[in-house]
Amino acid sequence: MKRSSSELKVAVTVWGDRVSPVFDAARTLLIAEINNTKIIHTYYLPFMPEPVSQCVRVLQAEEVVVLICGAVSQEPADALEAAGLEVIPFITGNIGVILENLVAGCQEWTALKMPGCARTVCCRGRIRKGSGQTQKVSETGTTMKRQKRDATGPRRS
Amino acid sequence: MKQENNKDGHVTEIILESISDGVFTVNHEWRIMSFNRAAEEITGIPRSEAIGRYCWEVFRSNMCEGDCALKRTMKEGKAFVNTSTYIINSERQRIPIAVSTALLRNEKGETLGGVETFRDNTVVEELRKELKGNFQLGDMVSRSTLMKRIFQVVPQIAESDSTVLIEGETGTGKEMLARALHSLSLRSEKPFIAINCGALPDSLLESELFGYKRGAFTHAVKDKQGYFSAAGGGTIMLDELGETSPAFQVKLLRVLEEREYQPLGSVEKHTTNVRIIAATNRDLAHLVEEGSFRRDLFYRVNIVRLQLPPLRERMEDIPLLADHFIGKMNRLRGKAVSYLSEESLEVLMRHSFPGNIRELENIIEHAFILCSSGPITLNHLPQSLLHIDSVPPASPQDSGQLQHAVHNTEIEQIQAALQRNDYNRTAAARDLGMHKTTFFRKVKRLGITLPSRDGRHIPGK
């Protein structure tokens, strides 16, 4: 069945109800199908991050376009990005909050990032310019609204 | 008294700040309470950002999710020392570390939380890799002389671009060797495709390798490129070549000779620029004699032949291979299994490994299911292995009889070899496959009297 253009599949490496702290050692993927700012379906998938080529194949077979994960080392991150996946790394927190952030079309992940993520570089590795409400087209072609997030620090569950 | 306590605390702080090991403490909610200077340096995270955060958000070790040492300490109340693992720092680098954990108690003995110390092992790991490099080729590790000979010639063979034939029993690492050949060749940037010829019927194998045109057969609704096209400029490994039919062998021979192939249903010839690595667990020369493998194809693929020895002929590799698989599975599973216990290693050394290295890997994987840290003991090994290897201990009488039989057989063999070689000691030693020094030592030990005639002197001269 062909996916409609507004439909987006996002994978999150999970550990219980949190984002898995290390992608390289994660065991479970939560796959969320998002359509018009609504999560229409979620399911879990066991997976192995190594070998990374196999992991890429699994994500491609699931038609995932965005991967949200915790700390990830250079080698798998490069391979995932080379395969055309948009990787949002060094994210931490409760899955509910992450998905909420995602469906809200929020591109600002500062409040959900792990400590040590350089302040001038956002978690997607790009230099952050300006702030506030800006429209931005991501690498995968999905249009998301960038919002300024309340900088009260990470939410904890 | 209070002043003295303050003074002690200050001294402790100075010590913690001056040491090169990272130290952090957590409370019962797993939130970081203190974070020393070395911890900042190793993780790349400033103290101001670390304090108050969950330890896994800061420490980011492969153990966090699966087998956290600190969690075990808090649960079992005991310390763990020098567990090897890695963390991911803010620069996305994997930093190998050694971790020790203990309970954090106040002067009244109340548990306040846990303390974790960790040491950056990057230099140690680099040295270890350097050392291991002598025994490693791609994903293959070995210390055996037989394998070292292969490791020595592989770089030259890889560069040559010639067709290679890899022979070896199932599970000996034929595909790994083929991958190593590919990664060391000038084609390394191009694809490597491995296909099991024995698993597919002729027509399917042909369509997989050469592709087909639309309408070539029922359900061929569009053109499909084959592996020869997909591997463009790369390497194709044809595994289990000995299982292919004579009809397919003819087609493959044409590709090897003319570097051309025809997709199914096509009238056009396509040229190909792939390197072929053939692999088999059969003796192709024997199949040629039997008439089940084409002689001309055999000579085409048998340009360079590499014979992988079975594991039973390189038993000295078992400890090294086991360590290699333990390291690999620790990384994959986020566990902290340290090594094989002596008894476990003994059981493995007694096993004949008909499934070769793959079987050893499966045994380690089995052990990992039951063991999450520390050494792999007999309890973690498959029962079948223990059953086969649990030979009842020989009685002293049996043992005496066996020794007597061995003693007599050795005497018989040495005397027969001497007779066969006209009592020439060196020739007899060579005949028995031993060095002459060993030969003389055995002769002395077994009390064999050597005749004055030694095969070198011609009587009457």
3-state per-residue secondary structure call for B414-426: HHHHHHHCCCCHH
The helix, strand and coil proportions of chain A, stated in percent and rounded to the nearest 5, come to: 20, 30, 45
**What is the C-alpha to C-alpha distance for residues B242 and B228, in angstroms, rounded to an integer?**
20
Mutate to test the interface with A, among B47, B55, B65 (most CBs of A within 10 A): B65
pLDDT band at B132 (very low <50, low <70, confident <90, very high): low
pLDDT at residue A124 above 80? no
- Interface predicted TM-score (ipTM): 0.73
Looking at the complex, does the CB of residue B93 fall below 8 Å from at least one CB of chain A?
yes
* Amino acid (one-letter) located at B99: V
Cβ-Cβ contacts under 8 Å, B334 against chain A: 22, 25
B458 within domain boundaries: no
Q: What CATH number is attached to the domain comprising B28?
A: 3.30.450.20
pLDDT, chain B, mean: 86
Quote the domain boundaries for residue B382: 331-389
Q: What is the pLDDT of residue A106?
A: 65
Q: Which residues contact B18 (CB under 8 A, 6 or more apart)?
A: B37
Backbone phi, psi, residue B459, to 5°: -55, 140
Looking at the complex, does the CB of residue B46 fall below 8 Å from at least one CB of chain A?
yes
B451 within domain boundaries: no
Task: For residue A35, give how far its alpha carbon lies from the nearest alpha carbon of chain B (Å).
Answer: 30
CA nearest neighbour of A65 among A48, A84, A79: A84
A2 within domain boundaries: no
Do B300 and B336 share a structural domain?
A: no
Chain A: residue nearest B330 by CA? A25
Query: Which CA distances in Å does B126 have to B95, B117, B132, B328, B429?
Result: 11, 21, 10, 17, 45
**What is the C-alpha to C-alpha distance for residues B278 and B244, in angstroms, rounded to an integer?**
12
Output the pTM of the full model. 0.51
A12 within domain boundaries: yes
Q: What CATH number is attached to the domain comprising A139?
A: 3.30.420.130
**What is the C-alpha to C-alpha distance for residues B419 and B428, in angstroms, rounded to an integer?**
8
Q: What is the pLDDT of residue B329?
A: 86
Task: For residue B296, give how far its alpha carbon lies from the nearest alpha carbon of chain A (Å).
Answer: 37
> Last residue of some domain: B94, B125, B156?
B125
pLDDT at residue A143 above 70? no
B352 within domain boundaries: yes
Cβ-Cβ contacts under 8 Å, B54 against chain A: 92, 156
B4 within domain boundaries: no
Task: For residue A94, give how far its alpha carbon lies from the nearest alpha carbon of chain B (Å).
Answer: 12
Do B335 and B297 share a structural domain?
A: no
Do B301 and B168 share a structural domain?
A: yes
From A128-132, B93-97, B212-216, the region with the lowest mean pLDDT:
A128-132
Do B335 and B211 share a structural domain?
A: no
Cβ-Cβ contacts under 8 Å, B65 against chain A: 15, 20-22, 25-27
Task: For residue A117, give how far its alpha carbon lies from the nearest alpha carbon of chain B (Å).
Answer: 6
pLDDT at residue A133 above 70? no
Q: Which of residues 289-308 of B touch A (CB under 8 A)?
A: none
pLDDT band at B446 (very low <50, low <70, confident <90, very high): confident
CA nearest neighbour of B198 among B270, B123, B291, B278: B278
Cβ-Cβ contacts under 8 Å, B43 against chain A: 116
Quote the domain boundaries for residue A118: 7-146
Most confident of B221-225, B365-369, B450-454: B365-369
Q: Read off the pLDDT of each residue in B178-202 and give the average, rounded to a whole number.
A: 88
List pLDDT tens digits, range A18-43. 999 999 999 999 999 988 888 899 99
Number of domains in chain B: 4
A60 within domain boundaries: yes
Chain B: residue nearest A49 by CA? B332
**What is the C-alpha to C-alpha distance for residues B185 and B290, in angstroms, rounded to an integer?**
35
Q: Do A50 and B332 touch (CB under 8 A)?
A: yes
Does residue B16 sit in helix, strand or coil? helix
Number of domains in chain A: 1
Q: What CATH number is attached to the domain comprising B418?
A: 1.10.10
If interface means Cβ-Cβ distance under 8 Å, which residues of chain A face chain B?
15, 20-22, 24-27, 48, 50, 70-74, 77, 89, 92, 114-118, 154, 156
Q: Read off the pLDDT of each residue in B320-326 and give the average, rounded to a whole number.
A: 90
List pLDDT tens digits, range B15-67. 888 898 999 999 999 999 999 999 999 999 999 999 999 999 999 998 898 88
